[in-house]
């Protein structure tokens, strides 16, 4: 409770001036109603406290006593010891107000019991299902009470952390206050009192801006802070925001003064910075980033600048949530004991001060670290759904033979996107390591059962595809400098080299790639297919895909292009309707329609069979009334000459990412879903000795 004192004071200073002006313009009863609305509807105790304090001195005793009770409750929410003072004042000065006295006495008893009985560490899901039509738009406010969400129009919607009271939406980047319209390019970061938010955006002319917006829906005014783009990280101090910026392959961690717009660089590194947090006193910044093996270490650096000092390092993967509420240590997630746990590293003067302490062991499969709040909670995303690779055998007629089996990759709950080696003996696949942000490339020998995990110098990658000669695995991904494109990974060493890289503002134009029979890559840029020589980088335009194309594949025998496109007569159909057409086209020839897809089915994962005589795809019913197995995706085959289509008899929940073995007798695929829910750890710090109130 006492840890929130400094934060509460800072919030009250910011809110005090406005509240005092409002107090002179309204009656105590009107001020009381306004304050209650702030608490009950907006969960904004910081703004309500000055109003309750003013009403507590009103001549009407019943109103003053009620204001003191509300005042104490607000102080409790902020973890402030002044809650006791408010309740005791009710007992000492308003003994004639029985209802208020009863409530104040009950709250004091509850506070005394809480102090006498140590709080028990709890680990629980924060919520299971978020509100319909809203997505997370950033981290919670520093006190952990307000959460930014975005609606389908990318407007900002603030809600309490339990998602029970969403506020009216605010349009970000709108043309107002003398500023041109802009498109939001980052998450938002809330001020400590959640009355403002910062974000980066791009204007129509291609310029970048860093803006601040006031989150009052009745007056969402905004201001340009810098005519540059920055990635906001944390707003823990009243007028400064911690940001990062990537320039020419280096990542700068900096602090922006919102009043002057001045930027002070804290540190600049070649490696990316994945998370950062400023100490409560503003003197130090903790951050984490990958080491040479793509595991993460945690560092501390003075906010005024200097050399970073490692405080959590080694063979383990160490991820930063933030500082402890009292600023005496840094919290980090580590798998050093075999499973991810929450640890505290005491820090004094920016240096390690004693051994790390294990606070909570076995957090489950940590999908992402979210926030450490000044209120003393740690919030993270926990993966509860399992994702794995399965293999199904096919008979001579191409139908399912036997029961699909797990590929037995040796990794639990996070393998997907399989690709066969040219000889059909090995599988390559993406691996999300347990308790880590690290994505690895798995190579599994299906005969010897040996498995190797390669960690290329890529922050993320998707869709591994083995080259026809077996010398490379191509992926679509992002390197440590933030560049996005197609890369080649050496399946022996894990080294990664770019083939075609896109500027940040054009990364959305890369829409897939496939190998051509001769060993070149066919890369889709917007709707154009380019043939890229991997040795020289020379490019040749092959053809343009029809607008609305959802996927394509290249025949391993003659290079013909198969594509899956939307049907013209369904372009204006409602969002829950699907349909399309599978076409085949050789470069220089007109497209040939092979198969029409009915509107009640969703088709994905179009892939050629190794002999070039047929295509396989997944077909999923779109009828929302179907449940269980009837709603699962099924694998179909279509003859590339006749267009005759039939199911293979293979149907599984969340089946996707089809890959056919070179002999055509096995199919590898992904099944399962990586369900992610936010979990919260509370009361993880030892309770300090109780101080006697004076």
pLDDT tens-place string over residues 563-601 = 998 654 334 333 444 468 999 998 778 899 999 988 888
pLDDT tier for residue 505 given thresholds of 50, 70 and 90: low
Pick from 517, 513, 518: nearest CA to 530: 513
Cα–Cα dist 23/213, whole Å: 25
Encoded tokens for 526 = 């917007």
Q: Which of 578, 522, 574, 521 is nearest to 548 (CA)?
A: 578
Q: Contact 376/369 with Cβ under 8 angstroms?
A: no
Q: How far apart are CA 498 and CA 488, in angstroms?
A: 6
Mean pLDDT, the chain, integer: 86
**Counting beta carbons within 10 angstroms of the beta carbon of residue 178, is it exposed (0 to 12), middle (13 to 18) or buried (19 or more)?**
exposed
Strands (E), 491-633: 496-502, 510-515, 521-525, 528-532, 539-544, 549-554, 561-565, 580-585, 592-597, 601-608, 614-621
Residue 71 dihedral angles phi and psi, to the nearest 5°: -60, -45
Tokens representing 219? 């007056």
Which secondary structure element, helix H or strand E, spans residue 332, and what is its range?
strand 329-334
Residue 496: is its pLDDT beyond 50? yes
Bridge partners of 287? 276, 299
- In Å, what is the CA distance from 685 to each residue of 68, 114, 120, 259, 334? 30, 15, 10, 35, 17
In sequence order, the 6+-apart residues with CB closer than 8 A to the CB of 553 are 514, 561, 562, 606, 607, 608, 615
Give just the sign of the alpha carbon dihedral 129, 130, 135, 137.
negative
Local structure of 282: helix, strand or coil: coil
Per-residue pLDDT at 9 exceeds 90: no
pLDDT at 78 over 50: yes
- Is the dihedral angle over the CA atoms 459, 463, 466, 467 positive or is it negative? negative
Quick one: pLDDT at residue 164?
A: 81
The length of the chain in residues reads 694
Instruction: Give CA–CA dist 243/188, Å, rounded.
Output: 11
Backbone dihedral region for residue 133 (phi beyond 0: left; psi -120 to 50: alpha; all else: beta): left
Hey, how many other C-beta atoms are within 10 angstroms of the C-beta on 332? 28
Paired tokens of 641? 């000459």
Average of per-residue pLDDT across 440-444? 92
- For residues 616 and 366, the answer to whether their CB atoms sit within 8 Å is no
Pairing of strands 357-360, 135-136: unpaired
- Structure tokens given for 560: 């013909």
Tell me the pLDDT tens digit for each residue of 214-252: 999 888 899 999 999 899 999 988 899 999 987 766 889
Q: Which of 100, 12, 17 is nearest to 64 (CA)?
A: 100
- pLDDT of 575: 44
- 253-261: long-range contacts (C-beta < 8 A, 24 or more apart)? 253/285, 253/287, 253/301, 254/230, 255/303, 256/210, 256/225, 256/226, 256/230, 258/198, 258/212, 258/225, 261/225, 261/226
Q: How many CB atoms lie within 10 A of CB 610?
A: 18
Give the span between the Cα atoms of 656 and 203, in whole angstroms: 38
| Cα–Cα distance, 571 to 406 (Å, whole number) | 39
Q: Token pair for residue 280?
A: 């409560």
Q: Residue 23 gets which letter from DSSP?
A: H
DSSP designation for 676:
E
- Would the pLDDT of 336 be above 80? yes
Say if CB 688 and CB 81 are below 8 A apart: no
Both tokens assigned to 13:
């200073």
Q: How far apart are CA 161 and CA 151, in angstroms?
A: 16
Instruction: Return the ∠ at Cα 391 (arms to 389 and 394), rounded to 5°.
Output: 155
Contact 146, 161 (CB under 8 A): yes
Tell me which residue has tokens 């969400």: 149
pLDDT in tens, 522-545: 999 999 999 999 999 999 999 999
* pLDDT category of residue 292 using cuts at 50, 70 and 90: low
- pLDDT at 414 (0 to 100): 80
In order of start, what are the domains of the chain with their CATH numbers? Answer: 2-116 (1.25.40)
- Residue 476 Cα to chain centre, angstroms: 19
Query: CB under 8 Å to 258, separation ≥6 — which residues?
Result: 198, 212, 225, 239, 240, 241
Instruction: Name the token pair of 340.
Output: 């991810």
For residue range 366-378, what is the model confidence (pLDDT) as tens digits?
A: 878 888 988 889 9
User: Roughly what angle, to the nearest 10 degrees, separates helices 61-77 and 45-55?
Assistant: 150
DSSP 186-212: S--EE-TTSSEEEEEEEETTS-EEEEE
The pLDDT assigned to 569 comes to 39
CA distance 555 to 549: 17
What is the per-residue pLDDT for 369?
87
The set of residues, in sequence order, having a beta carbon less than 8 Å from that of 280 and lying 6+ positions away, is: 6, 7, 236, 323, 325, 326, 327, 374
pTM confidence score: 0.66
> What is residue 309's predicted lDDT score, i.e. its pLDDT?
93
135-136, strands of its sheet edge to edge: 135-136, 146-150, 156-160
Q: Tens digit of pLDDT for each residue in 629-674?
A: 899 999 999 999 999 999 999 999 999 999 999 999 999 999 988 7
> Residue 412 and residue 451: Cα distance in Å, rounded?
13
Do 12 and 4 form a contact (C-beta atoms < 8 A)?
no
Handedness of CA 679, 685, 690, 694 (dihedral sign): negative
Q: How far is CA 656 from the centre of its chain?
A: 23
pLDDT for the residue numbered 22: 40
- DSSP 3-state assignment of 456? coil
Per-residue HEC secondary structure of 232-275 comes to EEECCCCCEEEEEEEECCEEEEEEEECCCCCEEEEEEECCCCCE
**Residue-wise burial string across 366-381, b where 16 or more C-beta atoms lie within 10 A, e elsewhere:** bbebbbbbbbbbbbbb
Determine the average pLDDT of the residues in 437-441.
78
Mean pLDDT (whole number) for 538-559: 92
SS3 letters across 72-135: HHHHHHCCCCHHHHHHHHHHHHCCCCHHHHHHHHHHHHHHHHHHHCCCCCEEEECCCCCCCCCE
**Is the confidence at residue 560, as pLDDT, over 70?**
yes
- Residue 259 makes CB contacts below 8 A (sequence gap 6+) with 239
């Amino acid at each position: 409770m006492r840890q929130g004192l400094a934060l509460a004071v800072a919030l009250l200073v910011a809110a005090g001036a406005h509240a005092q002006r409002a107090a002179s313009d309204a009656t105590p009863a009107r001020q009381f109603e306004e304050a209650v609305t702030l608490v009950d509807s907006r969960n904004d105790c910081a703004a309500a406290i000055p109003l309750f304090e003013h009403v507590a001195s009103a001549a009407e005793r019943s109103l003053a006593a009620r204001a003191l009770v509300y005042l104490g409750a607000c102080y409790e929410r902020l973890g402030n010891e002044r809650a006791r003072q408010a309740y005791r004042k009710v007992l000492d000065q308003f003994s004639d107000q029985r209802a208020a006295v009863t409530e104040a006495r009950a709250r004091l008893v509850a506070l005394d019991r809480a102090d006498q009985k140590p709080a028990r560490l709890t680990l629980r899901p924060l919520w299971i299902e978020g509100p319909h039509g809203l997505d997370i738009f950033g981290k919670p406010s520093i006190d952990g009470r307000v959460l930014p969400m975005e609606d389908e129009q990318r407007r900002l919607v603030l809600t309490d952390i339990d998602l029970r009271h969403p506020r009216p939406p605010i349009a970000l980047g709108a043309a107002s206050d003398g500023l041109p319209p802009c498109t939001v390019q980052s998450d938002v970061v809330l001020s400590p009192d959640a009355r403002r938010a910062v974000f980066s955006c791009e204007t129509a002319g291609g310029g970048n801006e860093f803006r601040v917006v006031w989150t009052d829906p009745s007056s969402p005014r905004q201001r340009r802070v810098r005519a540059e783009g920055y990635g906001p990280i944390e707003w823990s101090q009243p007028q400064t925001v911690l940001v990062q910026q990537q320039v020419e392959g280096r990542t700068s961690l900096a602090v922006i003064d919102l009043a002057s717009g001045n930027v002070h660089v804290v540190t600049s590194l070649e490696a990316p910075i994945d998370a950062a947090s400023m100490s409560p006193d503003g003197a130090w910044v903790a951050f984490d980033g990958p080491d040479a093996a793509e595991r993460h270490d945690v560092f501390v650096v003075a906010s005024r600048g200097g050399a970073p000092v490692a405080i959590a390092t080694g063979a383990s993967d160490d991820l930063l949530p933030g500082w402890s509420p009292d600023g005496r240590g840094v919290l980090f997630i580590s798998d050093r004991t075999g499973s991810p746990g929450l640890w505290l590293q005491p820090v004094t003067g920016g240096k390690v001060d004693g051994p790390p302490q294990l606070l909570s062991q076995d957090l489950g499969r940590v999908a992402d670290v979210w926030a450490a709040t000044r209120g003393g909670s740690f919030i993270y995303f926990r993966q509860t759904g399992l994702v794995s690779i399965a293999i199904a055998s096919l008979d001579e007629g191409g139908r399912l033979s036997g029961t699909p089996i797990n590929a037995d990759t040796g990794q639990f709950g996070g393998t997907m996107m399989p690709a066969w080696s040219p000889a059909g003996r090995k599988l390559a696949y993406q691996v999300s390591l347990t308790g880590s942000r690290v994505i690895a490339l798995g190579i599994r020998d299906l005969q010897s059962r040996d498995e190797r995990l390669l960690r290329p110098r890529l922050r993320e990658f998707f869709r591994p595809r083995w080259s026809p000669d077996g010398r490379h695995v191509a992926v679509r991904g992002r390197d440590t400098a933030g560049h996005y494109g197609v890369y080649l990974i050496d399946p022996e060493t894990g080294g990664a080299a770019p083939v075609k890289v896109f500027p940040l503002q054009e990364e959305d134009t890369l829409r897939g790639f496939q190998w051509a029979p001769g060993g070149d890559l066919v890369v889709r840029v917007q709707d154009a297919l380019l043939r890229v020589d991997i040795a020289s980088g020379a490019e040749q335009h092959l053809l343009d895909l029809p607008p609305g194309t959802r996927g394509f594949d290249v025949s391993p025998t003659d290079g013909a292009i198969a594509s899956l496109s939307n049907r013209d007569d369904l372009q204006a159909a409602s969002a829950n309707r699907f349909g399309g057409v599978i076409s085949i086209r050789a470069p220089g020839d007109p497209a040939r329609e092979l198969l029409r897809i009915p509107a009640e089915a969703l088709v994905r994962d179009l892939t050629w069979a190794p002999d070039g005589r047929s295509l396989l795809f997944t077909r999923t019913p779109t009828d929302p009334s179907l449940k269980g197995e009837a709603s699962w995706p099924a694998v179909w085959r279509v003859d590339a000459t006749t267009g005759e289509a039939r199911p293979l008899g293979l149907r599984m929940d969340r089946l996707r990412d089809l890959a056919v073995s070179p002999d055509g007798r096995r199919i590898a695929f992904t099944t399962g879903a990586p369900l992610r829910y936010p979990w919260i750890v509370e009361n993880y710090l030892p309770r300090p000795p109780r101080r006697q109130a004076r």
